[in-house]
Structure 1
Amino acid sequence: MSRKHAPTRPPSGRHARTPAFGPVRGVYVPRTADAGAFAMSTYGIPLLVLAVTESAALTGLAFVLEWVPRLGAFALAGAAVDRLGTTRVLRIASVARAAVVLAAALVLPRVGEDAGAVVTVMVLAAATGVLSEFSYIAAETAGGAASREAADHAHRVQAVLLGIDQCATLAGPALAGVLLQYTGATGMLLTIAVCSLLGAALAPRQRPVWPQEAPLSVTQGLKTGWRTLRSLPALGWLCTGLLLSNCAIGLVQAAGPVLVVQQLGGTSSQVGLVWSAAAVASLAVVALARLAIDRVGLWPVGAAAAALASAACLALAAAHTYLTFLVLVALLMAGEAGMTVVLRTLRAHLVPPEVFGATLSLIILLLLAPFPLAGALVALTPPDLLGHTITACAVLQALGLALAFAKLRTHPAARRAVPA
């Protein structure tokens, strides 16, 4: 095949397979089980650290330990999916995550509240972070294939996938907080293990449809993703804006347990309720975004979502009651959900299938880079100054999103309406 025809050839890695089941059983159901374990791990383990250590600094450090290994795992996960396939990676990562949390559930009651407990929860944060990203890359790659098959209706597939993620965010944090408060660490960790094992059991068998090629190395994959992103200005500008936005969102997530429990006098279950309320608002925006994109196109929907997120984050530092904090976080995450639908749709339309895995890994790596930095910032910032820090990040978020959507305003892919 000549080089000039290369972009039109079918995807070639093991991730580019047609599921033996339909999209519901082959993509949506496994994604649901994995998203439940992911959400409970992401939001529940920092709560566990705060409950064990009662330290804002150690809670922030746990957030760092949860996210730094995740960033390193993305490129490795992309290479693993190319080599082993989505099914095998999803099963291995899910079973390993279940084993890790079960081990922690056995160890914590025996070490009490001394240094052994601190070490256990910190190791738990790092290990679950890595394994969750392996399973997420596998599930997201399968979703990318389903979006390409949907062609002009890719935004509908992405809306379903994002809806699954938001439903998990709705149930996961609240359930983790309630379990931690009323059953202790053991009940919460056992539930995460059950969700992980369900994800492994539901991973569908897949059959190859394209010839296999030698997978790229991790370094080559990142270089390929970077070249692809640089060649797609619309996607590049949107990623830049969302990267800056995630600086603020990451800080709010990392500081959430400290702000609610120590400054607003709430409980661990109320921390989970914040993110569940955010998921409800996000689900509503995802449903509206799907309809609005059909009518007016991607840019107006994305710009409106960016304005909502920026306004909510700017007001967040002034929240002096739990209810105000909950409402503003819900609005912030609703705006983020609308922008995510736009990002995923542009990504599915613009990124060539043969470099999708490499580009996906790079984009996720870039967008999640602010999260460990946010954890470090919480660990180093006195609790009474967290509000001012959130305001500074909110200003950066607003400027970044305004510039990104100004650049996207005239791009054809972002302006046209998607056929119904």
Structure 2
Amino acid sequence: MGNAATSSITYDLTDDERELAGMVRDFAETVVAPQAYEADRTHTLPLDVVAQMGEMGLFGLPFPEELGGQGGDYFALCLAIEGLGRVDQSIAITLEAGVSLGAMPVFRFGTDAQRQELLPDLLAGRALAGFGLTEPEAGSDAGATRTTAHLDGGAWVINGAKQFITNSGTAITRFVTVTAVTGQRNGHKEISTIIVPNGTPGFTVEPAYDKVGWHASDTHPLTFADARVPEGNLLGERGRGFANFLHILDEGRIAIAALSTGAAEGCVEAAIDYARQRTVFGTPLATRQHVQFTIARMQARVHNARLAWHHAARLRDAGAPFKVEAAIAKMTASDAAMDNARDATQIFGGNGFMNEYPVARHYRDSKILEIGEGTTEVQLLVISRALGLEG
């Protein structure tokens, strides 16, 4: 695999960014790709690969050096996620969720004590954390949260359930941060976020899901039955949990767009290689104009997706508003991933239906990119509201 024409490092990057993209690409080719099929087949997150990612500093990319990070920015993180998503979406989402949903809320909203206690291991890849927002009755409508927490004798007592929580049940998962209704304000639910360490009595990580894709990614439902944690485990200001999460979600959409772009590019590269090698009626498949045009359209999708997430990430790192641009990037790139996976699988024919081929895994994996961290319909809602089309 590999095509200079489709390589992410041909875009307008700084020297440091080119070096990072090249390093991750090499790691993806030599370490991640060879284990992807077996990890997918056995539904196993390879913690040795996660450890190597930690040693490379990938989990610490957008965090200050004084906290154990690499002193980079969100753009650098997204470069790494794109490079991994090209060969294995499960590994890419492990990094994305580990940073955006695991470490970033603590960094943004935690106290100094919480940062010093929790971030060093998260940023080194020695530990993972999950973010429990989604519930059986609260997905895109996160304001419908039913999980509750009340104070009792200096402790939060939590009851409820969460679902689809990434990185919540691995051997190195340290805690999950959960949203919970902690009271009422002005007739509305007061939603706060609370850190719940793994092993807390009353907190149960239920058996992993049997998913369509992302088989090597760790994903569980969670239940809380009078789970008690110290009052100091409140993350951020009481009642600001939902608002804080929306900010985290906006950033996460850029990262999912980067992952989607990597997946879309991986499909292009696989389709090119296969079309050149596969002979049909005496000639390479790549000589057929229909195949050429299909791959050309696939490459155009990659290009547009990458420009979209680059723009959103640069805005975010410059401190400029980026909510709408993140929504556009997430929608554009997730569409590209799904469309390219479908087209690449068609080019592969019967082989595209075999899980040993990466396009088959991309075909299964890419659908969730149109759903997770805000469905396509939610992105359209964000964009249309920005255009003044409310009501």
Q: Normalising TM by the smaller chain, what interval?
A: 0.3 to 0.5
Which of the two has greater helix per residue?
A: 1
Larger relative contact order (C-alpha < 8 A, sep ≥ 6)?
A: 1
Which of the two has greater strand per residue?
A: 2
